[in-house]
């Protein structure tokens, strides 16, 4: 039996003498440990160890023991480093023996980043069960689709029965609604057995608004010196910040070691403010790569609205979500110009071309949406695999008022063209659950806060859309779904039965063909692309021509027309490996005229003898 245990310097740790409990509570003079034994509870005084630390080894405690800490006299709080909180964030924590799970994936070393095809999913809405086990039951489907990595939206314990996960308050504890810790480990192990990487979304920029007690007994966890959209920032650079930094660094190491995750996606790092050196993002990545990263492939990914390239340049973070390419494709597919889409509405094809060849569309240009401020850093020196491209994500669906997916609001032929572009381009593609069959289900913003927060959250959600013209009308604003209503969550669950319908099955076939082509033809040629040249040209309204030199020296070419009119265009040189063309455009293409909403991919030189088949060379409908 292979056991994986991460030795945290706090929380509850099993020893030969019992369970060692440690808590950092610098705002307290004394702390009690409350142990539950059936209906009986006892309170034990913890020993002060200096520096705000309190510790006690309890011989009467063991795996399964429920416990809480007693601070400020009689306030009972869960362990901030709890491995499991079966009764939600206000309840008692449970002592977990991490060594009890029998791992059987000792030979797993992960996969190289160039092989990544990511599938983002929300555990609670991905399956009817809404559990880790429910996800595991559909892993074979994901393998057949062509996915090589699943990315779980945050699973850290959040308040209530439903949440996106970004309101977590116990960052070491998988939420009990999804299952027990061993259920999550079983999911990771089952994925590895099928060759799938598992990535986890983590939130290090704030805690949720309900169930976070750190401000009571560890006030130095936060600082008024910096502020974020959630209030006082997490203290990464002030007094006592060393312990705060360690809390999050250990959290990253814990998920990677004890749960054997293959990587982490760090949420909204532009809201992590740190004026010290090294920046917390640098220190965290260095620690990961110096430890676990020496043993196997470990991938750290960023979400950063500031388009900062600096963390990617140091090769500590392998990639960053590229919102720019989503926004450009979204404008092309829908024509929307409100909100942040205004920055891409002037020339979406040009923005798309820049994303496909240089990474970011905004590399120091002025953003009108951000009140004429400069956004972004130069990214032309980075490999294109440093950028994660997507047409949908939890944000881009869920942050819409009604949670509409791109196939609900976009022109279908343009969406099909966009899919053929982003899935076969050299950047790393990411799908959002259900995208591959044009899921009927929306993905709305949902939560389950206590009574005090419910009204404020609902009102705040409606105020978010004040900058969108369609919601200036009070009736439309009032129609925005209530995040706290159970139906808002239930309607967001994937409707798998729609796969029985011809339309949705057709979309699934389309995605499968494209991802097979990526695996067979493109993926082997990606390693070594760093520093390779790429160029693009907007040759007509809606017309885009792109060329890349791949890692093996071959040339990949794209010809796309996103307009409603045929355009004059010479076909790209090399072998046509994929063409997505309307039936009416086929004859025009032979005459060097590219029909509306068409995409052609070509590769030069000819592939090796082992690639005798020409996948996708016929029209793909």
Q: List active site positions.
A: 267, 303
DSSP sequence for 207-272: --SSS--HHHH-GGGEEEEEEETTEEEE-SSSTTHHHHHHHHHHHHHHHHHHS--SEEEETTGGG-
* Residue from 466, 476, 81, 40 nearest 244 by CA: 81
C-alpha span between 406 and 474 (Å, rounded): 25
Closest residue by Cα to residue 314 from 254, 360, 381:
381
**Distances from the Cα of 283 to the Cαs of 133, 165, 289, in angstroms?**
34, 25, 10
Contact residues for 169 (Cβ-Cβ < 8 A; gap 6+): 89, 156, 157, 158, 159, 207, 208, 210, 211, 212
Distance from C-alpha of 428 to C-alpha of 301, rounded to nearest angstrom: 11
Q: In sequence order, which residues have a C-beta less than 8 Å from that of residue 113 and are 6 or more positions away?
A: 297, 299, 318, 319, 385, 428
- State the Cα–Cα distance between residues 404 and 381, nearest whole angstrom: 36
What is the C-alpha separation between 136 and 303, in angstroms, rounded? 26
| Beta strand 299-302 pairing with 373-375 | unpaired
Alpha-carbon gap, residue 81 to 511, rounded angstroms: 41
Rounded CA-CA distance 254/256 in Å is 5
Number of Cβ within a 10 Å radius of residue 146: 21
Q: At what angle do helices 412-424 and 502-517 cross, to 10 degrees?
A: 20
Contacts of 247 (CB under 8 A, 6+ apart): 10, 24, 80, 81, 221
């Amino acid at each position: 039996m292979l056991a994986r245990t991460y030795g945290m310097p706090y929380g509850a740790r099993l020893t030969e003498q019992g369970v060692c409990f440690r808590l950092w509570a610098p705002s307290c003079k004394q702390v009690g440990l409350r142990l539950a034994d059936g209906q009986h509870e006892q309170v034990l005084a913890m020993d002060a160890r200096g520096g705000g630390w309190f510790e006690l080894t309890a011989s009467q405690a063991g795996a399964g023991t429920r416990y809480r800490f007693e601070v400020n006299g009689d306030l009972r709080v869960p362990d901030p480093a709890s491995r499991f909180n079966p009764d939600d964030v206000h309840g008692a924590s449970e002592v977990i023996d991490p060594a009890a799970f029998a791992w059987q994936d000792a030979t797993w070393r992960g996969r190289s980043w160039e092989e990544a095809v990511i599938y983002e999913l929300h555990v609670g809405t991905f399956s009817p069960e809404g559990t880790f086990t429910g996800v595991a039951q559909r892993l074979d489907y994901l393998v057949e689709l062509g996915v090589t990595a699943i990315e779980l939206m945050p699973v850290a314990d959040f308040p209530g029965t439903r949440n996106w996960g970004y309101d977590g308050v116990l960052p070491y504890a998988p939420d009990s609604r999804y299952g027990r810790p061993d259920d999550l480990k079983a999911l990771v192990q089952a994925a590895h057995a099928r060759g799938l990487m598992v990535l986890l979304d983590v939130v290090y920029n704030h805690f949720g608004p309900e169930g976070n007690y750190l401000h009571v007994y560890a006030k130095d966890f936060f600082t008024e010196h910096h502020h974020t959209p959630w209030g006082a920032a997490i203290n990464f650079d002030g007094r006592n910040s060393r312990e705060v930094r360690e809390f999050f660094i250990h959290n990253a190491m814990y998920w990677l070691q004890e749960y054997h995750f293959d990587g982490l996606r760090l949420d909204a790092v532009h809201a992590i403010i740190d004026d010290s050196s090294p920046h917390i993002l640098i220190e965290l990545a260095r620690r990961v790569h110096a430890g676990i990263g020496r043993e196997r492939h470990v991938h750290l990914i960023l979400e950063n609205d500031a388009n900062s390239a600096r963390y990617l340049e140091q090769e500590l973070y392998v990639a960053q979500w590229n919102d720019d390419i989503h926004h450009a494709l979204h404008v092309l597919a829908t024509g929307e110009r409100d909100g942040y889409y205004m920055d891409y509405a002037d020339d979406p094809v040009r923005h798309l071309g820049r994303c496909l060849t240089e990474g970011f569309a905004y590399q120091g240009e002025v953003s009108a949406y951000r009140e004429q401020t400069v956004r972004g850093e130069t990214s032309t020196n980075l490999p294109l695999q440093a950028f994660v491209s997507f047409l949908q994500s939890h944000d881009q669906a869920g942050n819409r008022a009604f949670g509409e997916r791109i196939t609900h609001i976009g022109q279908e032929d343009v969406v099909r063209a966009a899919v053929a572009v982003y899935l076969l381009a050299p950047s790393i593609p990411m799908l959002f659950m259900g995208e591959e069959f044009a899921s009927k289900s929306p993905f709305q913003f949902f939560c389950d806060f206590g009574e005090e927060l419910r009204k404020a959250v609902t009102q705040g959600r409606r105020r978010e859309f004040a900058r969108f013209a369609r919601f200036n009308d009070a009736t439309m604003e009032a129609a925005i779904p209530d995040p706290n209503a159970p139906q808002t969550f239930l309607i967001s669950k994937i409707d798998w039965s729609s796969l029985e319908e011809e339309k949705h099955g057709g979309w699934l076939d389309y995605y499968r063909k494209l991802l097979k082509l990526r695996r067979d033809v493109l993926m082997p040629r990606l390693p070594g692309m760093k520093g390779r040249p790429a160029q693009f040209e907007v040759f007509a309204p809606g017309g885009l021509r792109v060329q890349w030199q791949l890692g093996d020296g071959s040339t990949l070419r794209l010809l796309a027309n996103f307009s409603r009119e045929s355009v004059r265009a010479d076909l790209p040189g090399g072998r046509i490996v994929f063409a997505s063309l309307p039936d009416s455009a086929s004859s025009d293409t032979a005459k060097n005229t590219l029909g509306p909403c068409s995409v052609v991919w070509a590769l030069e030189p000819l592939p090796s003898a082992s690639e005798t088949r020409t996948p996708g060379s016929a029209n793909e409908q």
